[in-house]
Copies of this chain bind each other. A is one copy, B any other.
Amino acid sequence: MKNYDGYKYIQGGVCAAKGFRANGLNCGLNANKDKNDLCVIVSDVPASAAAVYTTNKVKGAPITVTKKHLEKTGGICRAVIANSKNANTCNADGEEKAEMMCSLAASKLGISADEVIVASTGVIGQILPIEPIKAHIKPLCEGLSYDGNLKAATAIMTTDTVKKEVAVEFELGGKVCRLGGMAKGSGMIHPNMATTLNFITTDARLDAKATQTALSEITKITYNCLSVDGDTSTNDMVCVLANGMAENAEVTVDSEDYGVFRQALFIVMSELTKMLAADGEGATKLIECNCKGSPDLDTAIIVAKSVIRSPLLKCAIFGEDANWGRILCAVGYAEADFDIMKVDVDIASAKGVIAVCRNGAGVPFSEEEAKTVLGEKEIFININLNQGESSAAAWGCDLTYDYVKINGDYRS
């Protein structure tokens, strides 16, 4: 993980911030009894919540219900309930079931159902059985603890091979604050949305506008710059709960502290993004595409994402083949205005940097050195458009036999 001055990585995930408890267990949605499939996160005091959702027209019922709840409470939230294995999407009784999940948690926690955010991930179009959730809500809520983050983080995993948690400690106006999150991947992931399920908690005190603004800004340059396969999920959601228990002076968009908070959110979300990319379905390599020298931010993002999405490039990286023509091809079909004849491309890793293209044309390079560079697990594709000052990054992974295998029979 990248180091940033003034921010310290800490343990604890969604429980790192003061006043957040979590728990997770197997309720039976997943036949594998060793795999958690249901979790709850609770704030000891009402938290201000911000969220961004999938842009897919098919929206999971939990998305609809969560939106409704946050509108009703004016963005106040006490708890999150989430399950894996079943997306509760495209079902006639979806909203009813999502509401039931909230009510079950609320009645056990002694809060209002409207104060609960609900999320589901898994197979689309299968009726969600509510009985297993009903039967396990009591132990789930009674087992909530200030170090239950790992149990929760594993409960939202689907085809993920590793749990994803990041947390940082920083200061706002002399007060120690913490911000941590957990995320799940790892297929049906593509930019232009809030990718996958991501829950962030913080004890920083912020007003609603600052929370939502920071979340939207950071989502644009982190989760929305992630592509595993180009499929935009129906159930994506990122939410931030800020409960104010760090007792800092309230952060507003115009306050000096806003930048400090925004940076903490950036660190956690960008590190989670990289974890999601590295654990993309079937992935053996993390690919980071950096685009600089761009006339504006949007162009840089569009170019970096176009490269990251290319199946041909993803296969070449899997094969450790320096087929840079595919990089330039993907730069070329990016839907933005720029001069392709000014573009430079390097391929890099911890083992070195290979210049492969200058001014839109190939330059000679050693295939042997390229092979060494591409043998690493983290590959960087560095593009300089040479026509401006803006830059952006996007993250993805290679395309492998295992992606095909995993997705050839996902439902079973």
Binding site for B on A (CB under 8 A): 55-59, 87, 89-92, 123-127, 187-188, 190, 229-234, 309-312, 315-316, 318-319, 321, 323-326, 328-334, 338, 340, 356-357, 360-362, 399-401, 403-412
Contacts and interface: CB of A to CB of B under 8 A. Distances in A.
Contacts of A325: 87, 89-90, 123-126, 234
Contacts of A409: 319, 321
B357 A309 contact: no
Nearest to A234: B329
Contact of A404 (B321, B401, B411): B401
Q: Tell me the interface secondary structure of chain A in the complex.
A: loop
Contact of A311 (B57, B124, B230): B230
A230 B408 contact: no
B340 A91 contact: no
A316 B407 contact: yes
Contacts of A329: 56, 58, 124, 188, 231-234
Contacts of A188: 312, 326, 329
Contacts of A87: 325
Contact of A408 (B58, B309, B321, B340): B321
Contacts of A328: 58, 90, 124-125, 234
11 contacts: A56-B333, A58-B328, A91-B362, A187-B312, A188-B326, A188-B329, A312-B410, A315-B403, A315-B410, A316-B410, A321-B410
Contacts of A127: 362
Given A58-B340, A90-B325, A329-B56, A312 B231 contact: yes
B126 A362 contact: yes
Given A91-B362, A312-B231, A332 B408 contact: no
Nearest to A322: B411
Given A58-B332, A319-B409, A400-B404, A312 B229 contact: yes
A261 to B, nearest CB: 32
Which has the most chain B C-beta neighbours within 10 Å: A127, A230, A403, A407?
Answer: A407
Contacts of A401: 401, 404-405
Nearest to A324: B125
A232 B333 contact: yes
A330 B404 contact: no
Contact of A231 (B55, B311, B404): B311
Contact of A125 (B125, B357, B405, B408): B357
Contacts of A91: 361-362
A90 to B, nearest CB: 5
Contacts of A311: 229-231, 311, 403, 407
The 7 A-B residue pairs whose C-beta atoms are closest, nearest first, are A124-B325, A319-B408, A58-B332, A315-B407, A125-B362, A125-B325, A232-B333
A58 B331 contact: yes
A57 B333 contact: yes
Given A123-B325, A315-B406, A319-B407, 16 more contacts: A55-B333, A58-B328, A58-B331, A58-B332, A58-B333, A91-B362, A230-B309, A231-B312, A311-B311, A311-B407, A315-B408, A316-B410, A319-B409, A321-B410, A321-B411, A401-B401
